[in-house]
A and B are shown apart, each in its own frame.
Chain A
Amino acid sequence: MADTAIPTPSRRFGPAWPVTGLFLLAGLASFLVLGRQLPPELWWRALVDPDPARLDQLAAHYVLFPRFAVALMVGAALGLAGTILQQVLRNPLAEPATLGISAGAHLSLAVATLWLPEALALGREWVALAGAGLSAAALLALSWRKGLSPVTVVLAGLVLSLYAGSVSGVMVLFNHDLLIGLFLWGAGFLDQQDWGMAAFLAPRLAVLAVAAALVLRPLVLLGLGEGGARSLGLSVVGARLAGLLIAVMLAALTVAAVGVVSFVGLAAPTIVGMAGARRLGQRMLWAPLCGAALLWATDALVLMAPVTYRELPTGAVTAVLGVPMLLWLLPRLRTSAPPVMSAAAQPPRASRPALVLAGAALLLPLALWMAVAFGPGPDGWGWSSGGDLAALWPWRLPRALAALSGGAMLAVAGAMLQRMTGNPLAAPEILGVSSGAILGVIVLMFSADAPERGAQIAAGGAGAVAVLAAMLALGRKDGFSPDRLLLAGIATSSISGVVVAVLMAGQDPRLQTLVTWLSGSTYMVGWTDGLAAVLLALLAIGAIPFVARWLDLLPLGGGVAAALGVSPSLSRIALFSLSALLTAAATLIVGPLSFVGLMGPHLARMLGLQRAAAHLAGSAMLGGLIMLIADWLGRSVIFPYQVPAGLLASMIGGPFLLWLLGRR
């Protein structure tokens, strides 16, 4: 890594500053933590040769020191993995968590806990590693035919991740009490009780770091774009495979070792990049250092936190440190990476989009009728009519309508975001408004005694509006650059991730209803919200003709759009607010699991609906249909139990999307 030794002069402050600052913070906090336990003159003794009779020395030796070591190694691994992924996938939002690795590990642990406890006895890290490895293999196999093209890898990773996530979500839903260990793992606790995990990680991470150094050159060439790299004699597929393998193995190891550590893989490369590390070599040196410092500092601060009845999981708390840092750096981010929707990814345009739309529109009333009238009754499955139906439809219709409208709203929001940002990963939930809604509902749940539905909606709405206002304030400065908004949204989302993870690990019986709502259930929908959802969805569809021209022009670039009479920042603020409002409304009604916000738009595109108006309308109908059918199945298949529509939509839709992806 010759070029990393000479840092290029930067007009910025240089990556060394934030990294050094973080290390100082981490060191200081760690001294304080150690000092609380042992006098400084005994620290060395406790590290190398603790007195077996002294519990304080044993605790320092087997708990604190290995914990610091693991934090450093995991942080570095995540920083490196994030850097490599951002380079290979050419997407500033790519991070280990988006590729389905941790979701695969999570799923394998859930399966092992419930059905194969013998496997867990071998060691949790091996079970997690097997799951992570399987999902990595699936990821590579799915995107192999497309030459591991970034868009395909990212999409396949996302779908895999959501799919594995929803399968384990169903298990969690029905085995909430048995899986508490899994929640603890998922929250990313770093605490250790011997040096075993550090010894497990060290040699493996060292090998991967050397491997990463060896593929630096091909990875740099990948940054030139497909054509440029090929003309210099690089095997693009080979380079991508090598980079992905290393990153995926790093992610799998860390997830197996300590569970899900959010945000570091995204934050570390972003921080060093913004601080002035431009060249890949530089970034691959500084990002791991930054990740290590970030995680160590977070963990030391967690250790300093006052002792209460629950411990804070470091893996989730990273967001608390990382989010303000990222938000502060965002306005300083230079316009980054080229758009990821490469020309190769465009499916053929439908010759008659109107026909496709009409077909979908015809299906809607049929599906709605089925959802209300067909289902399990006292004497088995059947169509209800007459008096039976009159008794049933007040229970079924509001939910069906809410699912239909919620799906349509999320799909429209997703389609707008994806077109506006040119980022196929731009799902509505990463806008951050659903997180605002989640937080509002959680605050209410733990402060009010028995909140009613109306109060829940009000609290969730207040949270969503607060986040939306913050995002708009943030975006004003820079003309609503899409990348920055997405990054800010992801930052906000990770805060709700922290809260939910901490709550899940605390074993509170009140969480059951929260868990189902978080997985996209229409259970709580009554007439008022069902009809409100229909109204909002109709408004969203009515807005399509007014925004279609913006969405056709914006992807051509701000200059082109302005030349054609569209103000880029004005249109962006309108589109952003509209998608945020739709997301917030849908979140409040059917919960925040909005896989359909990704699936609807992608399916519509794959059906050949390319122009904005047709694409949006198609997305709305497909999104609505998917959620409607999912809700119907969810209510019916395991009656009287129910699977939340959001979960089921991703379980049905995921494989379908993968199939389309592979066929294309």
Chain B
Amino acid sequence: MPDMTGAVDRRRFLHAAAALPLGLLAGGARSAEPRADGGVCALDWTSAQALLSLGIVPHGLPEIDRYRRSVIEPAVPSSVPDIGARAEPNLELLDRLAPARFVTDGMLSAVRGRLERIAPLTLYQSFDTGSGEGQGTENGGSGQLAFAVASLRRLAGELGVSEAAELAVARFERALDEARARLSGVPLRPLYVLSVLDGRRVLIHGRNSLYQDLLDRLGIENAWTGPSGPYGHATVTMDRLTGRPDAELVNIGSEGQRALEALADLPLFAGLPFLREGRVTILPPILFYGGVPAAERFVRLLGERLA
């Protein structure tokens, strides 16, 4: 048995495989086919978003149906093959698809060795989980937007499409300007940006979230200054949203409407000003750690719905 854990190139690997008894039993050796340029395969949603925003249609993307429901933008063409679950993209299928390169957020590190036997990996991380719990940078922002822009530029550079990253960033800046223009005449209150999870709890985005930077750029205050975790959010009960009586609430995710109505009926929450006075805005789903494309989607939707 050859050393399968080390870096064995694919050709030698197949030769070795075919020389083993089972391969012989099955009808002899097969020569390894030369690999044509099979395109770039995205192993997770943020990578897929990044590729699509750079104008590259991924050759393979996990959980496409759910992507179309929960991430939505950038839209996935119908020709893209589904490679299975995000946690377990199908290795057998990936081998058959024979991409020239994988883009991954690093969560599949446990199978990296075997993925590398199919194609080289490019790491793309859209969100800085090392920014610490609830910490912002010195100048007040979360630094997530700068991080996301830098990651997208690095990815574009590695894929040899640097100018596409500049286009994507320019698209985001344009969306930001449009949102700012729409909101110019509107009195801006502090915002709680959250998703209702169940009858009493919400996922709320704090100081080290991507949204923090976007709110800063729009000149809106984030009403939640409490703790937040490595992904910039915290899970809290609704009764903790009492700090800012003047605030407005933005719920991300279409199913939040009913939950919020139910909450407004409870005596404890009936007093919460944004529920009592109906200062609630519902946005469709956005991938909260999705980098530049997600940022573009957020500012556009917020500008449209808040105005």
Binding site for B on A (CB under 8 A): 52, 55, 58-59, 62-63, 117, 121, 124, 173-174, 177, 180-181, 184-185, 189, 191, 193-194, 307-311, 372-373, 378, 384-387, 389-397, 449-454, 456, 505-510, 512-513, 515-516, 521, 523-524, 526-528, 531, 635, 639-642
Q: Which residues of the other chain, A, contact B92 by a CB distance below 8 angstroms? A: 392, 395-396, 635, 640
Chain A residue at smallest Cβ distance from B127? A509
In the complex, A336→B199 CA distance in Å?
44
Q: Which residues of the other chain, B, contact A635 by a CB distance below 8 angstroms? A: 92
Nearest 6 interchain pairs by C-beta: A181-B198, A387-B30, A450-B109, A386-B27, A640-B90, A527-B4
Q: Which residues of the other chain, B, contact A309 by a CB distance below 8 angstroms? A: 133-134, 206, 226-229, 233-235
Q: Which residues of the other chain, A, contact B262 by a CB distance below 8 angstroms? A: 121
In the complex, A635→B89 CA distance in Å?
11
In the complex, A608→B161 CA distance in Å?
68
Report whether A508 and B231 are in contact in the complex, using a CB–CB cutoff of 8 Å: yes
B158 at the interface (CB under 8 A from A): no
CB distance from A538 to the nearest CB of B (A): 16
Report whether B95 and A308 are in contact in the complex, using a CB–CB cutoff of 8 Å: no
Report whether A510 and B107 are in contact in the complex, using a CB–CB cutoff of 8 Å: yes
Q: Which residues of the other chain, B, contact A640 by a CB distance below 8 angstroms? A: 82-84, 89-90, 92-93
Report whether B27 and A451 are in contact in the complex, using a CB–CB cutoff of 8 Å: no
Query: Which one, B16-24, B144-152, B179-187, is touching chain A?
Result: B16-24
Report whether B87 and A59 are in contact in the complex, using a CB–CB cutoff of 8 Å: no
In the complex, A446→B2 CA distance in Å?
33
Q: Which residues of the other chain, A, contact B206 by a CB distance below 8 angstroms? A: 309
Q: Which residues of the other chain, B, contact A396 by a CB distance below 8 angstroms? A: 92
In the complex, A527→B199 CA distance in Å?
47
| Contact among A378, A449, A641 for B85, CB-based, below 8 A | A641
| Contact among B70, B112, B266 for A452, CB-based, below 8 A | B112
Q: Which residues of the other chain, B, contact A174 by a CB distance below 8 angstroms? A: 85
Report whether A528 and B4 are in contact in the complex, using a CB–CB cutoff of 8 Å: yes
Q: Which residues of the other chain, A, contact B30 by a CB distance below 8 angstroms? A: 386-387, 390-391
Q: How large is the interface on B (under 10, 10 to 19, 20 to 34, 35 or more residues)?
A: 35 or more
Which chain B residues (166-223) contact chain A, with CB distance < 8 Å?
A: 197-201, 203, 206
Chain B residue at smallest Cβ distance from A191? B237
Known: A387-B30, A395-B91. A184 touches B201 (CB 8 A): yes
Q: Which residues of the other chain, A, contact B87 by a CB distance below 8 angstroms? A: 173, 512-513, 515-516, 523
1/0 contact string of B55-95 vs chain A (CB within 8 Å): 00000000000100010000000000011111111111101
In the complex, A385→B114 CA distance in Å?
23
Report whether B198 and A185 are in contact in the complex, using a CB–CB cutoff of 8 Å: yes
Known: A55-B242, A394-B13. A181 touches B197 (CB 8 A): yes
In the complex, A516→B107 CA distance in Å?
13
B14 at the interface (CB under 8 A from A): yes
* A-B contacts, 9 listed (Cβ < 8 Å): A63-B268, A180-B198, A386-B27, A391-B96, A450-B112, A509-B289, A512-B85, A523-B91, A642-B85
B36 at the interface (CB under 8 A from A): no
Q: Which residues of the other chain, A, contact B95 by a CB distance below 8 angstroms? A: 391, 395
Report whether A310 and B234 are in contact in the complex, using a CB–CB cutoff of 8 Å: yes
B124 at the interface (CB under 8 A from A): no
CB distance from B96 to the nearest CB of A (A): 7
Report whether A508 and B27 are in contact in the complex, using a CB–CB cutoff of 8 Å: no
Q: Which residues of the other chain, A, contact B90 by a CB distance below 8 angstroms? A: 639-642
| Contact among B1, B86, B236, B267 for A58, CB-based, below 8 A | B267
CB distance from B94 to the nearest CB of A (A): 9
Q: Which residues of the other chain, A, contact B284 by a CB distance below 8 angstroms? A: none
Q: Which residues of the other chain, A, contact B28 by a CB distance below 8 angstroms? A: 386
CB distance from A528 to the nearest CB of B (A): 5
Report whether A506 and B22 are in contact in the complex, using a CB–CB cutoff of 8 Å: no
CB distance from B64 to the nearest CB of A (A): 11
Q: Which residues of the other chain, B, contact A523 by a CB distance below 8 angstroms? A: 87-88, 91, 111
Chain A residue at smallest Cβ distance from B123? A450
Report whether A391 and B229 are in contact in the complex, using a CB–CB cutoff of 8 Å: no
Report whether B111 and A63 are in contact in the complex, using a CB–CB cutoff of 8 Å: no
Q: Which residues of the other chain, B, contact A531 by a CB distance below 8 angstroms? A: 1
Report whether A58 and B22 are in contact in the complex, using a CB–CB cutoff of 8 Å: no
Please name 6 further chain A to chain B contacts, defined as beta carbons within 8 Å, in addition to the given A55-B271, A523-B111, sorted by A numbering: A181-B201, A386-B28, A387-B27, A396-B92, A449-B106, A524-B111
1/0 contact string of B250-290 vs chain A (CB within 8 Å): 00000100100010001111010000000000000000010
CB distance from B107 to the nearest CB of A (A): 6
Report whether B14 and A516 are in contact in the complex, using a CB–CB cutoff of 8 Å: no
Q: Which residues of the other chain, B, contact A310 by a CB distance below 8 angstroms? A: 229, 234-235
Chain A residue at smallest Cβ distance from B236? A311
In the complex, A59→B85 CA distance in Å?
43
Which chain B residues (87-143) contact chain A, with CB distance < 8 Å?
A: 87-93, 95-96, 106-114, 133-134
| Contact among A62, A181, A508, A526 for B268, CB-based, below 8 A | A62
Query: Which of the listed residues B110, B227, B238 has the most CB atoms from chain A within 10 Å of its own CB?
Result: B110
Q: Which residues of the other chain, A, contact B91 by a CB distance below 8 angstroms? A: 395, 523
Report whether B107 and A513 are in contact in the complex, using a CB–CB cutoff of 8 Å: yes
Chain B residue at smallest Cβ distance from A174? B85
Report whether A194 and B268 are in contact in the complex, using a CB–CB cutoff of 8 Å: yes
In the complex, A526→B2 CA distance in Å?
13
| Contact among B14, B85, B107, B113 for A526, CB-based, below 8 A | B113
Q: Which residues of the other chain, B, contact A397 by a CB distance below 8 angstroms? A: 22
Report whether A62 and B88 are in contact in the complex, using a CB–CB cutoff of 8 Å: no
Report whether A526 and B114 are in contact in the complex, using a CB–CB cutoff of 8 Å: yes
In the complex, A173→B84 CA distance in Å?
12
1/0 contact string of B23-66 vs chain A (CB within 8 Å): 10011111000000000000000000000000000000000001
In the complex, A173→B88 CA distance in Å?
11
Chain A residue at smallest Cβ distance from B201? A184
Report whether B26 and A390 are in contact in the complex, using a CB–CB cutoff of 8 Å: yes
Report whether A193 and B133 are in contact in the complex, using a CB–CB cutoff of 8 Å: no
Q: Which residues of the other chain, A, contact B237 by a CB distance below 8 angstroms? A: 63, 191, 193, 311
In the complex, A451→B108 CA distance in Å?
9
Chain A residue at smallest Cβ distance from B196? A181
In the complex, A510→B200 CA distance in Å?
24
In the complex, A516→B27 CA distance in Å?
35
Chain A residue at smallest Cβ distance from B28? A386
In the complex, A37→B206 CA distance in Å?
24
Report whether A451 and B109 are in contact in the complex, using a CB–CB cutoff of 8 Å: yes
In the complex, A193→B30 CA distance in Å?
67
Q: Which residues of the other chain, A, contact B242 by a CB distance below 8 angstroms? A: 55
Q: Which residues of the other chain, B, contact A55 by a CB distance below 8 angstroms? A: 242, 271
B239 at the interface (CB under 8 A from A): yes
Chain B residue at smallest Cβ distance from A123? B199
In the complex, A185→B110 CA distance in Å?
30
Report whether B85 and A173 are in contact in the complex, using a CB–CB cutoff of 8 Å: yes
In the complex, A48→B41 CA distance in Å?
62
In the complex, A310→B234 CA distance in Å?
6
In the complex, A373→B27 CA distance in Å?
13
In the complex, A516→B85 CA distance in Å?
10
In the complex, A121→B234 CA distance in Å?
25
Report whether B230 and A508 are in contact in the complex, using a CB–CB cutoff of 8 Å: yes
Q: Which residues of the other chain, B, contact A124 by a CB distance below 8 angstroms? A: 198-199
Report whether B231 and A193 are in contact in the complex, using a CB–CB cutoff of 8 Å: no
Report whether B109 and A452 are in contact in the complex, using a CB–CB cutoff of 8 Å: yes
Report whether B110 and A390 are in contact in the complex, using a CB–CB cutoff of 8 Å: no
Chain A residue at smallest Cβ distance from B130? A449
Report whether A513 and B110 are in contact in the complex, using a CB–CB cutoff of 8 Å: yes
Chain A residue at smallest Cβ distance from B129? A510
Q: Which residues of the other chain, A, contact B86 by a CB distance below 8 angstroms? A: 512
Report whether B231 and A389 are in contact in the complex, using a CB–CB cutoff of 8 Å: no
Report whether B107 and A509 are in contact in the complex, using a CB–CB cutoff of 8 Å: yes
Q: Which residues of the other chain, A, contact B203 by a CB distance below 8 angstroms? A: 180, 507
Q: Which residues of the other chain, B, contact A450 by a CB distance below 8 angstroms? A: 106, 109, 112
Known: A63-B239, A307-B226, A390-B23. A193 touches B200 (CB 8 A): yes
Report whether B96 and A378 are in contact in the complex, using a CB–CB cutoff of 8 Å: yes
Known: A63-B268, A194-B267. A642 touches B84 (CB 8 A): yes
